[in-house]
Structure 1
Amino acid sequence: MQSVTAVRTSVLPPYAAHLRVYEPLAAYPEPERARWQAYAAAHGPDASAPEQTVAPAALEEQREALAELLGRTPRTLPERESERAFVRVVDGVTYVCPWATRLRSWQALDELRVSLPVALLDTVLPPAVRAAALADQERWQAVHPDARPWILTSRWEVPVRWFLPFGAEDRCFVPAGPEGSRVPAALFYLTPMAQARRRVARGFRVLRGSAPTGTLVQGVEEVGRWLEEFHPRSLVELDYGGLVHLLGPERLAAEDSVEEIEAGIGALRSGDGVGAAPAYEAVTARWRKVFALRNAS
Structure 2
Amino acid sequence: MLPYVAYLRVYEPLVAFPEPARSAWTVYAVSGDRPSRSAALSVEHRQSLWYLVALPPIVAPERESRHAYIRRFDGTTYICPWHTRLRSWLALAEFRSSMPARVVDSFVPPAVARQVEADFERWKRGNPQVRPHILTSTWQIPLPWFVPFRSSERWLVLGDGAGGGRDTGGPTTAAATRTLGYVTSMAQARRRVARALAVVRRRLGDSAVLVGVEDVGRWLEEFHPRSLVELDYGGLVHLLDDAALRADQSVAEVGAVLSGLDAGQSELAVAMYKRLVTRWRVVQDLETAN
Q: Does 1:18 align with 2:27?
A: no
Alignment match, 1:196: 189
What is the TM-score normalised by the length of structure 1? Answer: 0.87
Alignment match, 1:83: 66
Structure 2 residue matching 1:77: 3-state secondary structure: coil
CA contact (8 A) 2:59 2:89 kept: no
Once the two structures are TM-superposed, the CA of residue 215 in structure 1 deviates from its matched residue by: 0.4
Alignment match, 1:33: 22
Amino acid at match of 1:97: C
Once the two structures are TM-superposed, the CA of residue 134 in structure 1 deviates from its matched residue by: 0.8
Q: Percent identity?
A: 48
Alignment match, 2:31: 42
Alignment match, 2:271: 278
Please list every run of 5 or more consecutive structure 2 residues that lacks an aligned counterpart in the other structure. Answer: 163-175
What is the TM-score normalised by the length of structure 2? Answer: 0.89
Structure 2 residue matching 1:42: 3-state secondary structure: coil
Q: Deviations over 1:45-67 (max 9, x none)?
A: 878xxxxxx33322233234445
Once the two structures are TM-superposed, the CA of residue 245 in structure 1 deviates from its matched residue by: 1.2
Please list every run of 5 or more consecutive structure 1 residues that lacks an aligned counterpart in the other structure. Answer: 1-11, 48-53
Once the two structures are TM-superposed, the CA of residue 72 in structure 1 deviates from its matched residue by: 9.1
Alignment match, 2:112: 129
For residue 234 of structure 1, the aligned residue among 200, 213, 227 is 227
Most deviating of 265-274 and 75-84? 265-274
Amino acid at match of 2:276: V
TM-aligned CA distance change 1:175 to 1:132, over 3 Å: same
Alignment match, 2:155: 172
For residue 158 of structure 1, the aligned residue among 127, 141, 157 is 141
Once the two structures are TM-superposed, the CA of residue 78 in structure 1 deviates from its matched residue by: 0.5
Cα distance in 2 for partners of 1:220, 1:146 equals 22
CA contact (8 A) 2:156 2:181 kept: yes
Once the two structures are TM-superposed, the CA of residue 69 in structure 1 deviates from its matched residue by: 5.3
Q: Does 1:296 align with 2:285?
A: no
Cα-Cα RMSD: 2.3
Q: Deviations over 1:171-219 (max 9, x none)?
A: 101011289xxx6421010111111111111011001111111101111
CA contact (8 A) 1:193 1:234 kept: yes
Structure 1 residue matching 2:225: 3-state secondary structure: coil
Once the two structures are TM-superposed, the CA of residue 143 in structure 1 deviates from its matched residue by: 1.4
Cα distance in 1 for partners of 2:69, 2:151 equals 24
Once the two structures are TM-superposed, the CA of residue 73 in structure 1 deviates from its matched residue by: 8.3
